[in-house]
Chains A and B, each alone.
Chain A
Amino acid sequence: MIERISGTRRTWCTVMKALCYLSLILVTALTAFMILYVLFRGVPHITPQLLFTKPSTLRHTIGILPDILNTIYIVIATLVVVLPIGVGAAIYLNEYATNRKIVELIEFAAETLSGIPSIIYGLVGMLVFVQFCSLGTSLMAGALTLVIMNLPTIMRTTQESLKTVPESYREGAFALGAGKWRVIRTVVLPTCVNGIVTGCILSIGRILSESAALLFTAGFAHNINGFIDGLGSAGATLTVALYVYASERGEFDIAFAIASILMVLTVIINLLTGYMGRLMKRRNGQ
């Protein structure tokens, strides 16, 4: 029987296998090169001075403490606004809405919204929040722009996890005479809290990596502020600072140092997401 598989066919198989193998090597090599190159160029420049001071023109030093703080502020401000809205919308769509057509339309719109290039959000944010709402170029304007950008993410992940709550839980609670909101608050939400956390972590990742939308709305300042003052004034996040140092000031060492920090943060966020996913599976499988 063996001879029925012709020589050309066997060669073809071998060639295809080799090509797949080659792609794998390329992908691995490129990723490894990327990571190692950034770390190699960046890590040596992560110094206490860089991490814990602000830039000084007089002493010719550069520090990214303001940018770190700005990043934290903008993450907090964004989440504080986006969470109630996103989770609330998801609850409405999944638990209250009865018109399937409209629900599907909103889901489709959210899907589309999450695929739009972020610079468009920046443009709209600049016109609406910075100018029309006269917030000025500020972290608050940036955060509100990011709220719109992350709304679909939070809404969709929450919705997906609401869908995994078995109908029998809701029925069990209704059968005990619990009202709709009590069922949602005490039975449905606690069951899917991991899904909401996963959405948050994904959003934090997006906020960290965002530059285009913030260039338009949050500005480039490197001043150390408290939370409230910070929100009212312009400020660069780490990613924006990276852009500024690399493209406007030619400080590639600093840019790479920031890049290394961002990469480590991304790894941590990915690990956290994976961990939450596993936790959710374990709890649902019990």
Chain B
Amino acid sequence: MTIIETKDLDLWYGSMQALKKINLSMEEKSITALIGPSGCGKSTFLRTLNRMNDLVPGVRIEGQVIYNGEDIFSPKVDVNGLRYEVGMVFQKPNPFMMSIYDNIAYGPRTHGIKSKVKLDEIVEKALVDASLFDEVKDRLRKSALGLSGGQQQRLCIARALAVQPKVLLMDEPTSALDPISTAKIEELAMSLCDRYTIIIVTHNMQQALRIAHKTAFFLLGEVIEYDTTERIFSNPSDSRTEDYVTGRFG
């Protein structure tokens, strides 16, 4: 079933058009990868899906993003409610300057959960889901900034999971990490996709090939090709896709 669909989505930064007529539909409970060379608009597209681009001055958007049957740009939609359902993990791990526990509890607390028992439960579950629990269970009250880069990124995933989103957007979540941490995050993404819809931007084509069910290839603000990952990498219909996935440019 389709959970997010974009219709003729255009986006401008000032006078520069960064996205041109994007029509994509993302399947529920699957992993969709967005690939393409730097500056092709894939991160911009991802950040449009939970309206993070609202924070950037001078952005203008036309077209529609339909989430669960509703246009997210409609005035009826509360942007905080949208971000509650569509969570995000960033390129650089960005834990807050708080304890590990408080980082994870931040989202639930924001949405009004105060009960300590309930919070304990949520924090533990999120950490288990992000396969971080065993590594940090003895230092939940210590600063999150003392964790390694890979652990910090899994903490950020746990933090996003703690509000039980439907969709998890991942913006190059492993580009700042070492190979072992990268493998852990990929494993994690695959283990989460039976419960969450994951949309991941990646620079690493092998990563898309390893984890994604479907892949979209972006170039200069347009989607050139969108198909099952297998087809994109083995038998693409557009020659530009082929050139990119075989490493001839980008």
Please report which residues of chain B, range 84-130, place their CB below 8 angstroms from some CB of chain A when the two chains form the complex: 84, 87-88, 90, 92, 94-98, 106-107, 110-111
Checking B94, B143, B163 against A177 with a beta-carbon cut-off of 8 angstroms, the contacting residue is B163
Please report which residues of chain A, range 164-183, place their CB below 8 angstroms from some CB of chain B when the two chains form the complex: 166, 168-179, 182
Question: Judging by beta carbons under 8 Å apart, are B80 and A98 in contact?
Answer: no
Query: Which residue on chain A has the smallest CB distance to residue B54?
Result: A174
Say yes or no: A171-B55 contact (C-beta < 8 A), given A177-B83, A178-B110, A182-B110: yes
Cα–Cα distance between A235 and B146 once the two chains are bound (Å): 51
**Which residues of chain B have C-beta atoms less than 8 A from A178's C-beta?**
80, 106-107, 110
Say yes or no: A169-B55 contact (C-beta < 8 A), given A175-B50, A182-B110: no
Counting CB contacts under 8 A, is B52 at the interface?
A: yes
Interface residues on chain B, number (Cβ under 8 Å): 29
Please report which residues of chain B, range 17-67, place their CB below 8 angstroms from some CB of chain A when the two chains form the complex: 50, 52, 55, 57
Cα–Cα distance between A171 and B87 once the two chains are bound (Å): 11
Counting CB contacts under 8 A, is A283 at the interface?
A: yes
Checking A166, A176, A191 against B83 with a beta-carbon cut-off of 8 angstroms, the contacting residue is A176
Question: Judging by beta carbons under 8 Å apart, are B81 and A172 in contact?
Answer: no
| Cβ proximity bits A111-148 to B, threshold 8 Å, 1 near / 0 not | 00000000000000000000000000000000000000
Query: Which residue on chain A has the smallest CB distance to residue B169?
Result: A175
Counting CB contacts under 8 A, is A286 at the interface?
A: yes
Query: Which residue on chain A has the smallest CB distance to residue B91?
Result: A168
Cα–Cα distance between A172 and B97 once the two chains are bound (Å): 12
Please report which residues of chain A, range 151-169, place their CB below 8 angstroms from some CB of chain B when the two chains form the complex: 166, 168-169
Query: Which residue on chain B has the smallest CB distance to residue A283?
Result: B97
Cα–Cα distance between A283 and B96 once the two chains are bound (Å): 12
Counting CB contacts under 8 A, is A186 at the interface?
A: yes
Query: Which residue on chain B has the smallest CB distance to residue A172?
Result: B94
**Which residues of chain A have C-beta atoms less than 8 A from B81's C-beta?**
177
Question: Which of A177, A178, A187 counts the most B-chain CB atoms under 10 A from its CB?
Answer: A177
Instruction: Write the nearest CB–CB distance from A260 to chain B, whole angstroms.
Output: 41
**Which residues of chain B have C-beta atoms less than 8 A from A186's C-beta?**
106
Say yes or no: A174-B97 contact (C-beta < 8 A), given A168-B92, A186-B106, A286-B145: no
Question: Judging by beta carbons under 8 Å apart, are A175 and B80 in contact?
Answer: no
**Which residues of chain A have C-beta atoms less than 8 A from B98's C-beta?**
190
Checking A169, A173, A176, A283 against B87 with a beta-carbon cut-off of 8 angstroms, the contacting residue is A176
Counting CB contacts under 8 A, is B154 at the interface?
A: no
Say yes or no: A174-B84 contact (C-beta < 8 A), given A168-B90, A191-B97, A283-B97: no
By size class, the interface of chain A is 20 to 34
Question: Judging by beta carbons under 8 Å apart, are B80 and A179 in contact?
Answer: yes
Say yes or no: A176-B107 contact (C-beta < 8 A), given A98-B57, A191-B97, A283-B97: yes
Counting CB contacts under 8 A, is B160 at the interface?
A: yes
Cα–Cα distance between A17 and B230 once the two chains are bound (Å): 73
Question: Judging by beta carbons under 8 Å apart, are B145 and A175 in contact?
Answer: no
Instruction: Write the nearest CB–CB distance from A29 to chain B, whole angstroms.
Output: 46
Question: Judging by beta carbons under 8 Å apart, are A175 and B88 in contact?
Answer: yes
**Which residues of chain B have C-beta atoms less than 8 A from A177's C-beta?**
80-84, 107, 110-111, 163
Question: Judging by beta carbons under 8 Å apart, are A176 and B160 in contact?
Answer: yes
Instruction: Write the nearest CB–CB distance from B107 to chain A, whole angstroms.
Output: 4
Checking B97, B145, B163 against A176 with a beta-carbon cut-off of 8 angstroms, the contacting residue is B163
Question: Judging by beta carbons under 8 Å apart, are A175 and B111 in contact?
Answer: no
Counting CB contacts under 8 A, is B203 at the interface?
A: no
**Which residues of chain A have C-beta atoms less than 8 A from B50's C-beta?**
175
Question: Judging by beta carbons under 8 Å apart, are B96 and A172 in contact?
Answer: yes
Cα–Cα distance between A187 and B98 once the two chains are bound (Å): 9
Cα–Cα distance between A170 and B111 once the two chains are bound (Å): 17
Cα–Cα distance between A247 and B159 once the two chains are bound (Å): 65
Question: Judging by beta carbons under 8 Å apart, are A171 and B94 in contact?
Answer: yes
Question: Which of B90, B94, B111 counts the most A-chain CB atoms under 10 A from its CB?
Answer: B94
Cα–Cα distance between A179 and B98 once the two chains are bound (Å): 19
The 8 closest A-B pairs by CB, nearest first: A177-B84, A168-B94, A175-B88, A176-B107, A177-B83, A172-B94, A177-B80, A178-B110
Known A169-B96, A187-B96; further 19 A-B contacts with Cβ < 8 A: A98-B57, A166-B94, A169-B97, A170-B55, A171-B55, A172-B95, A175-B50, A175-B83, A177-B80, A177-B81, A177-B84, A177-B107, A177-B111, A178-B106, A182-B110, A190-B97, A191-B97, A283-B97, A286-B143
6 A–B contact pairs at CB < 8 A?
A171-B52, A171-B94, A173-B96, A176-B163, A177-B110, A187-B96
